[in-house]
Amino acid sequence: MICVPNVELSGSNLLITLAIILIILEGLSVVSKGVEAFKKLTGRDERAKEVAEIKERLSNIEVWQIAVNTRLEKGNHRFEEGHKDTTEILKTLHRIVQHLQSGNDNDKLQQTDEKLYDYLLNRGVRREDLE
């Protein structure tokens, strides 16, 4: 017999008390598991937020990359156009040097001048800038 002040625990009273204690402990266990489950659910929301943030950053990077590629393509186009201009000017300069060296071929020099003039007009150079 267990002796507790002012309480006598014997036989069936002891079994009832132990059953109540076990029920209370089981209830605490259920509450603990419920808290863990809630934490897991909350953790998933945090993970979902992290995934959403990562996707947003990735989207921003993709938009930035498209903008950079567009600028590079424009720059490449300008470079190619500048190369064409330089090539045409160098051809003309070569013809002028040939004319100065030989003193001949005025017709060829006139044709080169006309080709350069037309080329520059087609490139958007104003007539008044050429004269």
Report pLDDT digits (tens) over 64-82: 999 999 999 999 888 888 8
Q: Is 125 in a helix, a strand, or coil?
A: coil
Q: What is the pLDDT of residues 5-50, one digit of tens each?
A: 555 656 677 778 888 888 998 988 999 888 888 877 776 667 778 8
- pTM > 0.85: no
Q: Kindly provide the b/e burial profile for residues 93-109, where b requires at least 16 CB atoms within 10 angstroms of the residue's own CB.
A: eebeeebeeeeeeeeeb
| Predicted confidence (pLDDT) per residue in 80-106, tens digit | 888 888 888 888 887 777 777 777 767
Rounded Cα–Cα distance for residues 87 and 84 (Å): 5
Structure token pair of residue 127: 């007539």
pLDDT of residue 14: 75
How many structural domains does the chain have?
1
Query: Residue 59, Cα to own-chain centre: how many angstroms?
Result: 5
Which structural domain range is residue 29 located in?
2-130
Instruction: Judge whether residue 60 has pLDDT over 90.
Output: yes
